[in-house]
Amino acid sequence: MTRRLWQGWRVRTGATYIAALRDGRAVYLDGERVKDVTSHAAFAEPIRRIAAIYDRAHAAEADPVLTFADPATGTRHSTMWLVPRSAEDLGTRRRVHRFWAEPSYGLMGRTPDHVACVLTAFAAWRQLFDRGGVRFGDSVVRFYERARDEDLYLAYAIVPPQVDRSQPAHRHPEPFLHPGVVRETDGGIVVRGAQAIATSATMADWLFLSYITPLVPGDEDYAISLVVPMNAEGLRLYPRRPYATTATSVFDYPLSSRFDEVDTTVVFNDVVVPWEQVFVYRDVDRVNAQFHETPSHTLANFQSLVRFGVKLEFMAGLALRLAEVQTAEGDPNVQATLGGELAALCAAFDALVRAAERFPLISGGVARPHPQYVYAGMALQRRLIVDMLRTLRELAGGAFQAVPSSEAAFTSEETRANTERYYRSAAAPARERVKLVKLVWDFVGTEFGGRQLQYEMFYSAAQPVVNRRMFHAYDWQAAKAMVSRCLGEY
């Protein structure tokens, strides 16, 4: 019975996930090699959070929203690997993305369901990779099936470091500052160079490496798309400062201490990549086309928008709770602010996500979330988050600064009485009020909060890049026709 169940379900457990991370990966923090990410203070808690979600997913394997049955084998897999064929399938994907986003309140962007979108879209559109040779399409599909069957967690690094944005990779001061192929071997290729940011790399199983920034003729050495396990020989992971290590307690830094997904620079020191892990090889056109000709970009960013919607709801909730604790929620001006500057934006954003899902573009048997709504969401995201953060700050006034330096103020015999008397509000005892204020500050003002804003501004691309995508995604014909009709009327 146990054996049959194991064969029937392919959603991994948290323990399996954690065990897989003890693979000898080369993570360097403050100049020293990290022996085991799963027990290191910088990574252990975020890893534990991801493991807990895997456990919840595993426990809900029969749930038709969280898993789907492979028509060929009957085996159930996580819905993050479902190739969407219809609006209903996209709705199912939206729910699985929410399932992954809600535990971190939308603060972890690169949960396993993000890069799963990319691989799923690649496999659903293998014809693009076949054009470079059928073996490449085979590699894409085989790796997708493996990732789906083992429920793997992938991070990706697809934007190169800012060496010289005015020059293509092949015109940099030295070759292979950006990742490229230094030579071929019988079994594969040897890759050298660095890619700027792979969020979550330290806690993922595999890395997808390629370029989303356009390559040009002459960049052939750099025109690659491939996957490597995180413990590949020669692959080094250099995280930025992880916020969990500087968070003094969960009470004082409730988000920094638990939800930092740690952005990481990845360096390839002549990493040997077997051919079966290579999807595109020395092919500028294919690299440039892979995210947009396939449904990859819209599917992955659909996940980003669903996740962002969760975060907006969380923000709105924080603002309302802040107003309640300050006994301001009955004030008509505060109600107008909460309604017009928070609730309206949350509702409008939710409508965009649902429109992207309900009106897909279906071609080649695959449903893409409608690009017009995906890119509208992405183009508006920066404004929404900045507006909402400002509103939260407006509501808080000086609250963030008028708090005890740490939770210890509540336990010290010397300070407890003053702390409990003078930090309370009419609606909440001091501990409850301070707990909330510190939570909101970790969202808007700490180093973790600042990184969150930068993430929303740049997780995909600089604003002009996103805006240009929206320009091309919008159906201008109807707008143009209306102007022509109007001009023709008189």
Ligand X SMILES: Cc1cc2nc3c(=O)[nH]c(=O)nc-3n(C[C@H](O)[C@H](O)[C@H](O)COP(=O)(O)OP(=O)(O)OC[C@H]3O[C@@H](n4cnc5c(N)ncnc54)[C@H](O)[C@@H]3O)c2cc1C
| Calpha distance 199→79 (Å, rounded) | 22
| CB distance 213 to 229 below 8 Å | no
CB of 451 to ligand X, least distance (A): 6
| CB distance 43 to 244 below 8 Å | yes
Which residue number, 124 or 378, has a Cβ lying nearer to ligand X?
378
Joined together, the tokens standing for residue 16 give 């399996």
Which residue number, 94 or 114, has a Cβ lying nearer to ligand X?
114
CB of 179 to ligand X, least distance (A): 11
| Calpha distance 400→403 (Å, rounded) | 6
Joined together, the tokens standing for residue 71 give 């028509």
End-to-end CA distance of the chain: 79
CB of 57 to ligand X, least distance (A): 21
Please choose, from the candidates 210, 155, 439, the residue with its C-alpha nearest in 3D space to the C-alpha of residue 314: 439
- Give me the helices (H) in 11-156, please: 14-21, 44-59, 87-101, 112-124, 127-130, 134-150
Buried b (16+ CB within 10 A) or exposed e, 292-306: ebbbbbbbbbbbbbb
CB of 225 to ligand X, least distance (A): 12
Which residue number, 143 or 455, has a Cβ lying nearer to ligand X?
455
CB of 88 to ligand X, least distance (A): 29
Which residue number, 79 or 264, has a Cβ lying nearer to ligand X?
264
Question: Would you call 364 exposed, middle or buried from its count of C-beta atoms within 10 A (0-12, 13-18, 19+)?
Answer: exposed
Which residue number, 271 or 428, has a Cβ lying nearer to ligand X?
271
Contacting residues for 487 by C-beta, under 8 A, at least 6 apart: none
Residues in touch with ligand X (CB under 6 A): 110, 156-159, 162, 165-166, 196-199, 263, 451, 454-455, 458-459, 461-462, 464
| Calpha distance 442→67 (Å, rounded) | 34
| Calpha distance 402→434 (Å, rounded) | 9
Which residue number, 198 or 315, has a Cβ lying nearer to ligand X?
198
Q: Which residue has the tokens 């040997």?
A: 272
CB of 291 to ligand X, least distance (A): 11
CB of 187 to ligand X, least distance (A): 27
CB of 449 to ligand X, least distance (A): 12
Please choose, from the candidates 243, 301, 303, 162, the residue with its C-alpha nearest in 3D space to the C-alpha of residue 452: 243
Which residue number, 262 or 395, has a Cβ lying nearer to ligand X?
262
CB of 153 to ligand X, least distance (A): 13
Partners of 154 in beta bridges: 206
Which residue number, 28 or 458, has a Cβ lying nearer to ligand X?
458
Q: Which residue has the tokens 């301070």?
A: 434
Which residue number, 361 or 457, has a Cβ lying nearer to ligand X?
457
Partners of 271 in beta bridges: 191
Which residue number, 314 or 459, has a Cβ lying nearer to ligand X?
459
DSSP structure string for 354-380? HHHHHS-EEETTEEEPPHHHHHHHHHH
CB of 126 to ligand X, least distance (A): 23
